[in-house]
């Protein structure tokens, strides 16, 4: 008998499985509807032998020593600091917008003056969200805000979310602030890198434990039922814990209506060229229908002839049989609907929601690993 059934084999599910099996000495079953482990972090090789991330580029970064040390049990790291440029009408400029970018796009005297004003207003080294910069009253600071808004945020955000930056949660554009230093790295975290042998291998290591079983190609909705305050597994009452990491609305057949998500369409292209673009990721912030292009060999460090790129086309999530819900849309009305589902779940014993989908949050990988470790601390203590 399994002490715990886990739905989903992304970071949330895999970390919980390992922790409950190892620290909690439990027998654990993971149900995963896809044909592979690692959730959206899954990486593989395309038919040209290029190492790709099937569900979009995943770069690991964290300030949490606990998370870094924990994952380092299962992988070594390829030392990689992520840098991104935006293609603005053919000119490539570093993103996040930093003092370095300021000096590229404004004429020298003007740039010096703007730098001085920005630092007087916000302080050197600070990270200023674009929506905050837009509130500045000074006309020169307004000019910087206007440049950044128009050239970096407006159209990219319209593509990604179908809405303007001021119409979406400030948390979202706040992920890529204006940086008042010369640091052009995309992430500021202390630990940054890529699992040396990739995410799938990291997951394999984490999941290779004698008391963890994994069933792929298994949709939890076919085998787990929650009815009248009781949990059932394969038709029999199931008294153990259930950790659910999928979309919560779909588990309850969208009984209160659909939780809105944004989805993505990924298009891969291969070129018989040494390189396609100067950085691993180029954001298209003023043109094109796609938001960004990733060139994988620049991300993974793979040495191979030819190169594979991925274009990301954002779209609404309308069909659960063909699309994947990638991003929760953080709006009050959606959070309200999410809370209704969460209240429904509370009626069932031992049923826990964890992960980007189940919690309807914009988690990075490190945040969900940390959240899983904390939930495991609590459950192991019980």
Q: Which does 175 bind (CB under 5 to 8 A by kind): ligand UDP, ligand FAD, none?
A: ligand UDP
Cβ neighbours of 382 (radius 10 Å): 6
Pick the closer one to ligand FAD by CB: 29 or 179: 29
Residues in the chain: 382
CB nearer ligand FAD, residue 270 or residue 361: 361
CB of 126 to ligand UDP, least distance (A): 18
Say which entry of ligand UDP, ligand FAD, none residue 280 contacts (CB below 5 to 8 A, set by partner kind). Answer: none
Indicate the residue among 245 and 283 with the shorter CB distance to ligand UDP: 283
CB of 356 to ligand UDP, least distance (A): 11
Q: Is 11 or 153 the residue whose CB approaches ligand FAD more closely?
A: 11
Q: Toward ligand UDP, which CB reaches closer, 157 or 231?
A: 157
Is 98 in a helix, a strand, or coil? Answer: strand
Q: Which residue is nearest to ligand UDP (CB)?
A: 156
**CB-neighbour burial class of residue 10 (10 A; exposed 0-12, middle 13-18, buried 19+):** buried
Residue 98 near which of ligand UDP, ligand FAD, none (CB within 5-8 Å, type-dependent): none
- Least separation in angstroms between CB 149 and ligand UDP: 9
| Alpha helix stretches (DSSP H) within 135-294 | 139-148, 154-161, 170-173, 199-207, 220-223, 248-251
User: Which residues are at the interface with ligand FAD (CB under 6 A)?
Assistant: 7-13, 31-34, 39-41, 56-59, 219-221, 245-246, 264, 326, 355-357, 363-366, 368
User: Is the distance from CB of 75 to CB of 205 less than 8 angstroms?
Assistant: yes
Q: Which does 194 bind (CB under 5 to 8 A by kind): ligand FAD, ligand UDP, none?
A: none
Q: Shortest gap between Cβ of 199 and ligand UDP (angstroms)? A: 16
Buried b / exposed e across 255-265, counting CB within 10 Å, b at 16+? Answer: eeeebbbbbbe
Nearer to ligand FAD, 149 or 156 (CB): 156
Query: Please, what's the largest Cα pairwise distance for the chain?
Result: 75
Sheet of strand 212-215: strand arrangement: 212-215, 28-31, 4-7, 241-244, 351-353
Angle (nearest 5°) at CA 359 between 353 and 364: 120
Quick one: which of 59, 47, 95 has its CA closest to 300? 59
Select the binding partner of residue 295 from ligand FAD, ligand UDP, none (C-beta < 5 to 8 A, by kind): none
118 binds, among ligand FAD, ligand UDP, none (CB under 5 to 8 A by kind): none
Q: What distance in Å separates the CA atoms of residue 272 and residue 308, rounded to the nearest whole number?
A: 9
| Binding-site partner at residue 176 among ligand UDP, ligand FAD, none, CB < 5 to 8 Å by type | ligand UDP
Q: Which is nearer to ligand UDP, 48 or 313 (CB)?
A: 313
Where helices occur in the chain by DSSP H, the ranges are 11-22, 65-72, 99-105, 108-122, 130-133, 139-148, 154-161, 170-173, 199-207, 220-223, 248-251, 296-300, 332-345, 365-381
Taking the C-alpha atoms of residue 311 and residue 293, their distance in angstroms, rounded to an integer, is 5
**Footprint of ligand UDP (CB under 6 A):** 86, 95, 152-153, 156-157, 160, 172-173, 175-176, 283, 285
59 contacts which partner out of ligand FAD, ligand UDP, none, CB within 5 to 8 A by kind? ligand FAD
**CA-CA-CA-CA torsion sign (231, 235, 237, 240):** negative
Of 149 and 341, CB closest to ligand UDP = 149
Choice between 152 and 293, CB closer to ligand UDP: 152
Residue 97 token pair: 């917008």
Q: How far is the CB of 153 from ligand UDP (least distance, A)?
A: 4
Residue 24: name its binding partner from ligand UDP, ligand FAD, none (Cβ under 5 to 8 Å by kind).
Answer: none
């Amino acid at each position: 008998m399994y002490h715990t059934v886990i739905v989903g084999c992304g970071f949330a599910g895999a970390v919980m499985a390992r922790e409950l099996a190892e620290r909690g000495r439990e027998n654990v079953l993971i149900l995963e509807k896809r044909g592979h482990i690692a959730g959206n972090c899954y990486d593989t090789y395309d038919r040209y032998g290029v190492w790709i991330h099937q569900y979009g580029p995943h770069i690991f970064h964290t300030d949490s020593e606990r998370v870094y040390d924990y994952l380092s049990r299962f992988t070594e790291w390829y030392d990689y600091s992520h840098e991104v440029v935006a293609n603005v009408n053919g000119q490539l400029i570093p993103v996040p917008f930093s003092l370095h970018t300021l000096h590229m796009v404004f004429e020298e005297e003007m740039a010096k003056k703007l730098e001085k004003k920005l630092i007087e207003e916000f302080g050197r080294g600070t990270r200023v969200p674009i929506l905050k910069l837009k509130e500045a009253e000074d006309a020169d600071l307004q000019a910087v805000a206007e440049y950044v808004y128009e050239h970096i945020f407006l159209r990219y955000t319209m593509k990604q979310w179908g809405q303007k930056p001021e119409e979406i949660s400030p948390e979202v554009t706040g992920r890529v602030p204006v940086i008042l230093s010369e640091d052009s790295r995309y992430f500021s975290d202390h630990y940054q890198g890529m699992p040396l042998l990739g995410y799938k291998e990291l997951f394999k290591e984490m999941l290779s434990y004698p008391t963890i079983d994994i069933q792929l190609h298994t949709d939890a909705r076919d085998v787990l039922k929650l009815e009248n305050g009781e949990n059932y597994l394969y038709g029999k009452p199931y008294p153990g814990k259930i950790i659910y990491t999928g979309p919560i609305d779909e588990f309850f057949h969208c009984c209160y209506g659909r939780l809105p998500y944004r989805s993505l369409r990924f298009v891969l292209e291969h070129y018989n060229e040494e390189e396609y673009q100067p950085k691993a990721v180029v954001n298209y912030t003023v043109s094109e229908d796609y938001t960004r292009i990733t060139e994988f060999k620049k991300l993974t460090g793979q040495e191979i002839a030819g190169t594979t790129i991925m274009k990301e086309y954002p779209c609404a999530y309308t069909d659960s049989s063909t699309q994947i819900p990638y991003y929760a849309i953080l709006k009050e009305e959606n959070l309200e609907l999410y809370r209704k589902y969460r209240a429904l779940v509370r009626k069932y014993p031992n049923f826990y929601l964890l992960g980007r989908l189940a919690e309807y949050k914009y988690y990075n990988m490190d945040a969900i690993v940390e959240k899983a470790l904390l939930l495991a601390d609590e459950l192991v203590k019980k």
